[in-house]
Chains A and B, each alone.
Chain A
């Protein structure tokens, strides 16, 4: 079902980092956005071009069931979004304010929070996980009277597991605790219904499952009044005021937008909507299960999550450094994977002692044949590894 796209002879399985290839419509949208002067309301008198910012906002809001669309805010990345939200939710937080996160989280969550903890502005609890997820009971048990915020990944970029966001969010809201969810690995991969999910903010990035390009991202915020803006500047609106507008999305969006990036994001989101996220998720589940089934045939291979909900397979080969496996996959088989810690050091400390893993991550454009070739290549490498050397 996947379209044929001209591409060099390589098998790209690093889509959890950045998806490739992009849908043809995304490339066309970028070209088109640069072919004419940009049209941005309040920033130009021209009216001949598309309003890419509005298009992208509507497309993302529709895809994620985010209402109203004005509460979708564009930033330069998921990391940028998380920094804005964490700082914004915790503005005015006195020393002793308690925050929860998890071992599954990415450094884009862990580092901002640990920096605040080092500054003495928060007290941080990092929750352990089991079977790829943090139990809602573990979350509830960690809540203290001064717990104000929880920040966690919706989907793990290492294990491909998805957190029980609905249950965790309900528990947090019962205790009047705000909830930021990092959807960098889930947006575009699995259905996300922000209308019904009990989250206060949901973060996305443009260049992964949404098929946009690097340099785009954003967040949805349910109640903007709960977050203090941390950036100030020109919005093209209410320009006589020397203070940041309170209206959305200007409250959080200052400076000139990334028009080509947002044109790409709008096209990517529309492409996904045209296929249907459920269809994308079903294909990914089938292909991921196939690869894991093949790898499990090799006694030397350790797969860290045998039933991921996202198209991510993390593994090691006994007797080999993960970096060497990645090197061989790339050089001998033309397969692009990712090795190491994947910016999630605590997850790796829990699953492999901090050694890191090889990660394969698929996209809608991954073909069944590519999955077969990749699985066969890994099995070949595993069959020639020396299991007496090192351990996974």
Chain B
């Protein structure tokens, strides 16, 4: 588990953006809103709307393959003009390697 300290508060919009890459659960009426993103076999991200920290839990067997993608998700959202198709291509390439690592070729 790693705690990421962000330079700006995390928002509900960020988690909506993450839905492009996995499942998001939300309890919007708890505190300022609780959000959890789950990308099976990769990692999960938990956070409260308005917090500057989020908790990221990696599947350790594939962490070396997936860790960079977390940073990419944060930076691409912050830049605001993320090229989703490029990110999806990157995701698919990593996905192939993760599956091979975890389940064999």
Q: Which of A324, A381, A384, A385 contacts B46 (CB 8 A)?
A: A324
Give the complex CA separation of A332 and B25 in angstroms: 17
Q: Which residues of A contact B18 (CB under 8 A)?
A: none
Q: Does A38 contact B (CB under 8 A)?
A: no
Q: Does A7 contact B (CB under 8 A)?
A: no
Asked whether, in the complex, the Cβ of A328 is within 8 Å of the Cβ of B30, the reply is: yes
Q: Does B27 contact A (CB under 8 A)?
A: yes
Asked whether, in the complex, the Cβ of B55 is within 8 Å of the Cβ of A381, the reply is: no
Q: Which residues of A contact B48 (CB under 8 A)?
A: 328, 331-332
Q: Does B36 contact A (CB under 8 A)?
A: yes
Contact with A along B19-47 (1 / 0, CB 8 A): 00000010101111010100000000011
Q: Which residues of B contact A385 (CB under 8 A)?
A: 27
Give the complex CA separation of A332 and B29 in angstroms: 11
Interface residues on B, range: 10 to 19
Interface residues on A, range: 10 to 19
Asked whether, in the complex, the Cβ of A328 is within 8 Å of the Cβ of B55, the reply is: no
Q: A324-B46, A327-B46, A327-B55 are in contact. Are A332 and B31 (CB under 8 A)?
A: yes
Q: Which of B27, B29, B31, B36 contacts A333 (CB 8 A)?
A: B31
Closest-CB distance, A292 to chain B (whole angstroms): 22
Asked whether, in the complex, the Cβ of A331 is within 8 Å of the Cβ of B27, the reply is: no
Q: Does A131 contact B (CB under 8 A)?
A: no
Q: Does B91 contact A (CB under 8 A)?
A: no
Give the complex CA separation of A380 and B30 in angstroms: 7
Closest-CB distance, B3 to chain A (whole angstroms): 11
Which A residues from 299 to 355 make CB contacts under 8 A with B? 324, 327-328, 331-333
Asked whether, in the complex, the Cβ of A332 is within 8 Å of the Cβ of B30, the reply is: yes
Give the complex CA separation of A17 and B76 in angstroms: 40
Give the complex CA separation of A328 and B48 in angstroms: 8
Closest-CB distance, A319 to chain B (whole angstroms): 10
26 pairs from A and B in contact (CB 8 Å cutoff): A324-B34, A324-B46, A327-B34, A327-B46, A327-B55, A328-B27, A328-B30, A328-B31, A328-B34, A331-B31, A331-B34, A331-B48, A331-B51, A332-B30, A332-B31, A332-B34, A332-B48, A333-B31, A380-B30, A381-B27, A381-B30, A384-B27, A384-B29, A384-B30, A385-B27, A389-B25
B residues sitting closer than 8 Å to A (CB atoms) are 25, 27, 29-32, 34, 36, 46-48, 51, 55
User: Which are the 10 A-B pairs with shortest beta-carbon distances?
Assistant: A332-B31, A331-B48, A384-B29, A384-B27, A384-B30, A328-B34, A327-B46, A381-B30, A328-B30, A332-B48
